[in-house]
């Protein structure tokens, strides 16, 4: 009997969401316990700041320029080598329960969107079983397993969800007490919400396995991604009226605009509603119109959802222990990307390479039988390192198509983990943006490559996190930092992995 692997991911969760990563509001004792008993990587960053590219990197162990999913709406090729398929070839039982999003959610030609309607659960992409959900219980263009289950068993509860595709903000469906965008009071009973459903389906799969099986299970929660509509019965956990505004909130629209004028121009254009630069935000949302109370209410909803996730994690981990697998199970916990949640007076995500969106909660609780000493590790690591780590702990050779490196288990053994690279390569409404970002040694350096929108060779962002943790002061043109900037840019391009000879086709928006 070998090592078993539980990979837990959330969607759009900030790096400071948990008690073990500096959070002060949401109570997350189960995940905090995993961190205390394992390895807490405090300088983890993703390789892209939206869902599909980030998830493709987790599955393949490749950078976005290599696997080709450079934006949402580009399906990962069916024949792409991936971790689940590799483990399955070596005798592992594999499953993904919850949100997948390797295929466009708005395109019905793909397995993720038709499997439930045909009564299928796989195998697919190397997973023996997939039972899928998204961010709503409402049926839409696609009907994954969760909304079908809800419709078939509790049809009166379907309409309680916010409609995910509705525009937020003043001209869309705002809700809650403050009419905040994408906030809604959902009357669904706690036990029927998709967080608990995802945990239940994970437990059911584990119960189907033989006692001696080796397994890789990816439990993928759709929360705390918008729309923010957790069960109304749980809102008493956090009263939004009691919350302070986040440290990254500048305090006024005037102060925010002053900060954003120091950044590349799409920041301020989006904030003021003069331009939209990615599909993943409600089309009529204008960040400058957000009120402080709306930011507080959004954050309260997120804290509630994070607590529900923690309780679901606790149930599954305890169930693994009850099945007798606790000593041999490695547990990983992370998210795909972050969320502004009021930083810079904004919500959601997009082509903005700051830590609100790039930095991740990133935890590995090694199997207790491995006898790895718990530690907090500050070496830069990323999604690209997850697949090689899982291969190594399973006793398998790390295949040469994986581009990351196994995670360090001690700070002093972090050779090969000096930097992370995050990229954005997408366009919206004829405005293309290409960004390449390096994190190294407490600095974030982003190069904007020439496109039809940015037509200069000298556009970028540079932040010193030791002096400016909120990334409010762009040092790109600071005379005293030009040598540092040149060094970071050279390091970025020296370490960019090879890209594909031909780009993949974008077949949908998300």
DSSP string for 201-250: HHHHHHHTS-TT--EEEEEE--TTSSSB--BGGGGGGS-GGGPPPPTT--
Q: Are 74 and 504 in contact (CB under 8 A)?
A: yes
Residues 169 and 299 in one domain: yes
Q: Are 55 and 355 in contact (CB under 8 A)?
A: no
Residues 114 and 191 in one domain: yes
> Does pLDDT of 478 surpass 90?
yes
Kindly state whether residue 501 falls inside one of the protein's structural domains.
no
| Cα 426 to Cα 432: distance, rounded to the nearest angstrom | 6
Residues 370 and 252 in one domain: yes
Main-chain dihedrals φ then ψ at residue 423, nearest 5 degrees: -130, 150
Residues 460 and 385 in one domain: no
Residue 299: closest CA among 231, 239, 349, 217 = 239
- Give 77: exposed, middle or buried? Use CB within 10 Å, 0-12, 13-18, 19+: middle
Kindly state whether residue 72 falls inside one of the protein's structural domains.
yes
Please give the tally of structural domains in the chain.
2
State residue 106's pLDDT score.
81
pLDDT in tens, 170-215: 435 689 999 999 999 999 999 999 999 999 999 999 999 999 999 9
Kindly state whether residue 290 falls inside one of the protein's structural domains.
yes
- Give 272: exposed, middle or buried? Use CB within 10 Å, 0-12, 13-18, 19+: middle
Q: What is the mean pLDDT of residues 490-501?
A: 95
Domain boundary among the residues 406, 433, 463 is at 406
Residues 234 and 195 in one domain: yes
The CATH number covering residue 489 comes to: 3.30.1120.10
Radius of gyration of the chain (CA): 21
Query: E-strand spans in 53-128?
Result: 93-98
Residue 189, Ramachandran bin (φ over 0: left; ψ between -120 and 50: alpha; else beta): beta
Q: What is the mean pLDDT of residues 481-510?
A: 96
Q: SS3 letters for 414-480?
A: CCCCCCEEEEEEEEECCEEEEEEEEEECCEEEEEEECCCCCCCCCCEEEEECCCCCCCCCCCCCCHH
| Cα 81 to Cα 490: distance, rounded to the nearest angstrom | 30
- Give 490: exposed, middle or buried? Use CB within 10 Å, 0-12, 13-18, 19+: exposed
Residues 378 and 445 in one domain: no
| Cα 308 to Cα 157: distance, rounded to the nearest angstrom | 19
CA-CA-CA-CA torsion sign (506, 507, 509, 510) = negative
Residues 445 and 339 in one domain: no
| Cα 189 to Cα 231: distance, rounded to the nearest angstrom | 6
Higher pLDDT, 452 or 416: 452
SS3 state at 369 = helix
Residues 249 and 314 in one domain: yes
pTM of structure = 0.97
State residue 171's pLDDT score.
38
Domain boundary among the residues 353, 372, 406 is at 406
Which pLDDT band, with edges at 50, 70 and 90, does 4 fall under? very high
Kindly state whether residue 503 falls inside one of the protein's structural domains.
no
Cα–Cα distances (Å) from 475 to 7, 214, 329, 464, in that order, read 38, 50, 45, 8
Report CA 209 to chain centroid distance, whole Å.
29
Q: Are 276 and 429 in contact (CB under 8 A)?
A: yes
Kindly state whether residue 37 falls inside one of the protein's structural domains.
yes
Residues 172 and 306 in one domain: yes
Residues 185 and 94 in one domain: yes
| Cα 5 to Cα 2: distance, rounded to the nearest angstrom | 10
pLDDT in tens, 395-407: 999 999 999 999 9
State residue 153's pLDDT score.
97
Q: Are 204 and 317 in contact (CB under 8 A)?
A: no
What pairing do the DSSP bridges indicate for beta strands 93-98 and 215-220?
parallel
> Does pLDDT of 337 surpass 70?
yes
Q: What is the mean pLDDT of residues 1-29?
A: 96
State residue 1's pLDDT score.
58
Domain hosting 469: range is 420-495
pLDDT in tens, 62-117: 999 999 999 999 999 999 999 999 999 999 999 999 999 999 988 889 999 999 99
Domain boundary among the residues 406, 430, 451 is at 406
Kindly state whether residue 4 falls inside one of the protein's structural domains.
no
Kindly state whether residue 71 falls inside one of the protein's structural domains.
yes
The CATH number covering residue 81 comes to: 3.40.720.10
Residues 438 and 382 in one domain: no
CA-CA-CA-CA torsion sign (451, 452, 453, 454) = positive
Beta-bridge partners for 124: 127
Residues 131 and 266 in one domain: yes
State residue 165's pLDDT score.
59
Cis, bond preceding 227 (omega within 30 deg of 0): yes
Kindly state whether residue 411 falls inside one of the protein's structural domains.
no
């Amino acid at each position: 009997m070998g090592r078993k692997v539980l990979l837990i991911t959330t969607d759009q969760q900030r790096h400071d969401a948990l008690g073990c990563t500096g959070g002060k509001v949401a109570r997350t004792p189960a995940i905090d316990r995993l961190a205390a008993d394992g390895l807490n990587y405090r300088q983890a960053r993703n390789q892209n700041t939206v869902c599909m590219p980030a998830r493709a990197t987790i599955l393949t162990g490749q950078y976005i320029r290599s696997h080709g999913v450079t934006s949402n709406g580009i399906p990962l090729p069916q024949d792409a080598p991936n971790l689940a398929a590799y483990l399955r070839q070596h005798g592992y039982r594999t499953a993904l329960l919850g949100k997948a999003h390797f295929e466009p959610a708005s395109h019905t030609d793909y397995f993720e969107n038709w499997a439930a309607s045909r009564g299928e659960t796989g195998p697919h992409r190397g997973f023996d079983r997939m039972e899928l959900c998204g961010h709503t219980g409402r049926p839409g263009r696609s009907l994954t397993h969760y909304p079908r289950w809800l419709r078939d068993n509790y049809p009166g509860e379907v309409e309680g969800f916010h409609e995910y595709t509705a525009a937020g903000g003043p001209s869309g469906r705002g809700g809650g007490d403050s009419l905040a965008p994408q906030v809604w009071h959902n009357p669904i009973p706690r036990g029927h919400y998709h967080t608990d459903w995802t945990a239940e389906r994970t437990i059911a799969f584990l119960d189907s396995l033989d006692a001696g099986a080796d397994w890789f299970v990816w439990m993928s929660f759709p929360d705390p991604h918008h729309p923010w509509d957790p069960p109304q019965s749980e809102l008493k956990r956090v009263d939004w009226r009691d919350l302070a505004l986040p440290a990254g909130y500048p305090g006024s629209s005037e102060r925010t605009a002053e900060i954003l004028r120091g950044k590349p121009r799409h920041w301020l254009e989006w904030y003021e509603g003069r331009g939209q630069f990615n599909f993943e935000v409600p089309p009529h949302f204008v960040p400058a119109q957000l009120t402080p109370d709306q930011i507080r209410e959004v954050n309260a909803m997120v804290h509630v959802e994070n607590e529900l996730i923690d309780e679901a994690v606790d149930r599954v981990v305890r169930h693994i222990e009850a099945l007798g697998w606790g000593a041999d199970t490695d547990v990983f916990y992370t998210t795909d990307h972050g969320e502004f949640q009021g930083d810079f007076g904004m919500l959601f995500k997009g082509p903005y390479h700051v830590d609100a969106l790039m930095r991740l909660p990133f935890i590995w609780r090694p199997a207790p039988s491995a006898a790895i000493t718990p530690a907090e590790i500050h070496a830069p690591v990323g999604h690209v390192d997850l697949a090689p780590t899982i291969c190594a702990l399973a006793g398998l050779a790390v295949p040469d198509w994986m581009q990351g490196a196994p995670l360090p288990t001690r700070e002093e053994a972090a050779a090969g983990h000096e930097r992370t690279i995050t990229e954005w390569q997408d366009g919206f409404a004829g405005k293309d943006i290409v960004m390449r970002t390096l994190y190294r040694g407490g600095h974030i350096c982003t190069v904007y490559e020439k496109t039809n929108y940015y037509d200069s060779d000298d556009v970028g962002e540079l932040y010193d996190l030791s002096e400016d943790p909120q990334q409010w002061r762009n040092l790109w043109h600071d005379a005293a930092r030009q040598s540092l900037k040149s060094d970071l840019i050279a390091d970025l391009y020296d370490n960019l992995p090879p890209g594909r000879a031909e780009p993949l086709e974008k077949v949908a928006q998300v």
